[in-house]
Amino acid sequence: MPSVMLKKNAEGKLVFYVPKKDLEEVAESIEFDNPEKWGGEVLLSDGSKYYFEPMNEQPDFPVTLRAKRLD
Amino acid sequence: MAALTKEETEALIQEVLEIYPEQARKDRAKHLAINDQSLEKSNKCITSNRKSQPGVMTIRGCAYAGSKGVVWGPIKDMIHISHGPVGCGQYSRAGRRNYYVGTTGVNTFGTMNFTSDFQEKDIVFGGDKKLAKIMNEIEALFPLNKGISIQSECPIGLIGDDIEAVAKKANKEINKPVVPVRCEGFRGVSQSLGHHIANDAIRDWVLENRDGDESFATTPYDVAVIGDYNIGGDAWASRTLLEEMGLRVVAQWSGDGTIAEMEKTPKVKLNLIHCYRSMNYIARHMEEKYKIPWIEYNFFGPTKIAESLRKIAALFDETIQAGAEKVIAKYQAEYDAVIAKYKPRLQGKRVMLYVGGLRPRHVIGAYEDLGMEVVGTGYEFGHNDDYDRTIKEMGNATLIYDDVTGYEFEEFVKRVQPDLIGSGIKEKYIFQKMGIPFRQMHSWDYSGPYHGYDGFAIFARDMDMTLNNPCWKQVKAPWKTAESSDVAVAASV
Ligand code: SF4
């Protein structure tokens, strides 16, 4: 369960940062990404997948959330 | 000498690795790479931030060095106690040349060494009492200090002293910030973790001090310069440019910085990060907590300076954008003259670098402005994200080495035959004795500043002065040179 720092970059894409691993990646896709529901499976540009517990609103980026690694 | 091809570089790496025992060879192979600009991510070609191999000569420092020496040390109006035996602080005292304004020993303390000077009895019975006592002494002797930080050396963690409790108590007694930093040298694999621990200590003990206090009058143009340690005056040369374009620099982290500036930083509009490696943590924290965006910039060499000024200005309104253009135009004649003077003398020269947190990639542009080429670079304590940022800056097929060992560096240099090496004091004399021009790129070899337009002029002069120094022709013993026999004959006639 790594802590992941999430922020939006200049292009509005979600940037994923795991401090312990120096992992800095852009998210390719997010399972739920609308005003009512956010989270689920997130696919990163390096091919790895993470899972965020879905929530009922968009988080206020930048924010640190806990994620589960899927692969 | 012509540049090495990809195959030659590959062969060179293999040749250098040959000498290691199998296990070490496997490990070191992961830290040596050939640059390939097409890669997006460095982890495909290089491993970094791993423990050094036992038995090799590594050039790294310890976590205490990262915290006391780099991040905390330059905060000039605080007293930083090197808590533990005397050596760690004394042998690193004032070595980094972080310039500051103030009267040392009265209201600033940058070049002084404060230590709890542990003796055997402190190790056996613990040093907490001594620590409390020296903080009171400090208060009596140096009443103008604005706070104290406790920089733990190795023994503190080993004997389990509770410096946090002592700090909290002292904080109440002297009514100033007292910051315990758990940066014992054995933590982590290099000084890098020390930076992180130091950042976390700032986050936990300093940054919130003025939360809710709105008495500081802000402007829409407030910025903080983060990760500039004012080596040889670097931060000053940077700050002038930012101010000339219309920004207000509220804080300098941490070169010539004060604790009051740090406490005010959460009020700024933008954080400007020069040394990403040592201070990205705090910038990310402020982004999350105070919603302050941050960007990286590079003030080495006119090309990168102009690029950075425009990048910074783009985040503000038109007055600042116009300001940036004005600054670039104002200095153009100056830096054009520098290039006109030195480029013909330096054109085509090849450089190998091996430095710390940002310079292995940041100075490349400055060399290129002078027509020089960087053919090898590496970080002492970089992480993946540093190498990610390096790949695009370096030419294809150039060498990249992480935590290079003394042996590898020497062998690479023998084969690549660079015209100039930029690295640290531990490497300096080896390469000078090999007859290769060398610049100490940690503390600018007693020179500087190198940041900003003013710094670029000094940088160019220094590189020329070193590279084209006639002394390099005199390195060989006179009786070993080809002409010596003629001279001897002539003399005997
Ligand atoms: S490793 Fe430990 S003993 Fe050595 S300089 Fe660092 S803190 Fe001091």
**Residue B283: CA atoms inside 13 Å, Cβ hemisphere, count?**
24
Would you call A5 helix, strand, or coil by DSSP?
A: strand
Smallest CA-to-CA distance from B442 within B369, B381, B398 is with B381
**CB–CB of B448/B463 below 8 Å?**
no
Which residues share a beta bridge with B114? B81
CA B63 – CA B88 distance, rounded (Å) = 11
R_g of chain B, CA atoms, integer Å:
24
CA B187 – CA B193 distance, rounded (Å) = 7
Check pocket membership of B153 for ligand 1, CB cut-off 6 A: yes
* Residues near B119 by beta carbon (within 8 Å), at least 6 away in sequence: none
Residue-level pLDDT, tens digit, chain B, 493 residues: 567 889 999 999 999 999 999 999 999 999 999 999 988 888 888 999 999 999 999 999 999 999 999 999 999 999 999 999 999 999 999 889 999 999 999 999 999 999 999 999 999 999 999 999 999 999 999 999 999 999 999 999 999 999 999 999 999 999 999 999 999 999 999 999 999 999 999 999 999 999 999 999 999 999 999 999 999 999 999 999 999 999 999 999 999 999 999 999 999 999 999 999 999 999 999 999 999 999 999 999 999 999 999 999 999 999 999 999 999 999 999 999 999 999 999 999 999 999 988 999 999 999 999 999 999 999 999 998 899 899 999 998 899 999 999 999 999 999 999 999 999 999 999 999 999 999 999 999 999 999 999 999 999 999 999 999 999 988 887 787 766 556 555 666 5
Smallest CA-to-CA distance from B89 within B153, B16, B144, B40 is with B153
Q: Which helix (H) or strand (E) covers residue B32, if one does? A: strand B32-34
CA B142, B143, B148 angle in degrees (round to 5)?
75
Judging contacts by C-beta atoms under 8 Å, the chain A residues touching residue B379 are none
Which is the closest atom of ligand 1 to the Cα of B62? 6
Spacing, Cα A53 to ligand 1 middle (Å): 43
* Residues of B belonging to the active site: 62, 65, 96, 195
Running DSSP on this structure, what letter comes out for residue B395? P
Contact B385 A22 (CB under 8 A): yes
A10 confidence band (pLDDT: 50, 70, 90):
confident
**CB–CB of B476/B435 below 8 Å?**
yes
Check pocket membership of B154 for ligand 1, CB cut-off 6 A: yes
To which residue do tokens 């920004």 refer?
B247
Spacing, Cα B96 to ligand 1 middle (Å): 17
A1 confidence band (pLDDT: 50, 70, 90):
confident
Beta strands per DSSP E along B323-467: 350-353, 373-377, 399-401, 420-423, 438-440
pLDDT at B474: 86
pLDDT at B34: 94
Rounded to two decimals, what is the model's pTM?
Answer: 0.93
Smallest CA-to-CA distance from B363 within B234, B243, B240 is with B234
Q: Which amino acid is at B481?
A: T
| Other Cβ atoms within 10 Å of B1 Cβ, number | 10
Partner A, chain B 269-308, Cβ-Cβ below 8 Å: 281, 284, 287-288, 291
Listed in sequence order, the DSSP H helices in B160-256 are 163-174, 191-205, 234-244
Which of the listed residues B154, B182, B381 should we mutate to test ligand 1's pocket, taking the one with most ligand atoms within 8 A of CB? B154
**CB–CB of B268/B223 below 8 Å?**
yes
Beta strands per DSSP E along A1-48: 3-8, 14-18, 23-34, 37-44
pLDDT at B95: 87
Judging contacts by C-beta atoms under 8 Å, the chain A residues touching residue B391 are none
Task: Give how far B314 is from chain A: nearest CA, Å.
Answer: 12
| Other Cβ atoms within 10 Å of B374 Cβ, number | 25
CA B258 – CA B251 distance, rounded (Å) = 8
Q: Are strands B270-273 and B222-228 parallel, antiparallel or unpaired?
A: parallel
* Residues near B50 by beta carbon (within 8 Å), at least 6 away in sequence: B27, B30, B31, B189, B403
Chain centroid to Cα B331, Å, comes to 26
Smallest CA-to-CA distance from B273 within B424, B436, B386, B408 is with B386
Listed in sequence order, the DSSP H helices in B347-405 are 359-362, 364-369, 384-391
Which is the closest atom of ligand 1 to the Cα of B186? 1
Contact B287 A7 (CB under 8 A): yes
Would you call B142 helix, strand, or coil by DSSP?
A: coil
